[in-house]
């Protein structure tokens, strides 16, 4: 497995963990983002890449710093 893939998998784990720490379902997050639940699911599974603007929005909803996701 490439180092990049390992890093991205770690990021995906933090993205899921942040949602669970916030006590939110994918559906609740999707509503706050104005997106379908499948958007959140695809972001968390790695099926869809998360861009920096989306990450900022996720971080705000989860009350986490960007460092939490990328450190």
Contact 45, 15 (CB under 8 A): no
Q: Is residue 33 classed exposed, middle or buried when 0-12, 13-18 and 19+ CB atoms within 10 A define those classes?
A: middle
pLDDT attached to residue 1: 52
Map tokens 């499948």 to a residue. Answer: 38
| Residue-number span of the structural domain to which 49 is assigned | 3-70
Count structural domains, the chain: 1
The residue that leads in pLDDT, 71 or 20, is: 20
- The CATH number assigned to the domain holding 51 equals 1.10.260.40
Q: What integer is the mean pLDDT of 43-48?
A: 97
The pTM score is 0.91
Q: What integer is the mean pLDDT of 55-62?
A: 98
């Amino acid at each position: 497995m490439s180092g990049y893939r390992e890093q991205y998998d770690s990021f995906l784990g933090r993205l899921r963990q942040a949602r669970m720490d916030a006590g939110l379902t994918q559906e609740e997050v999707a509503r706050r983002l104005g997106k379908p639940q499948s958007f959140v699911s695809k972001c968390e599974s790695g099926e869809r890449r998360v861009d920096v603007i989306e990450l900022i929005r996720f971080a705000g909803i989860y009350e986490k710093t960007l460092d939490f996701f990328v450190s």
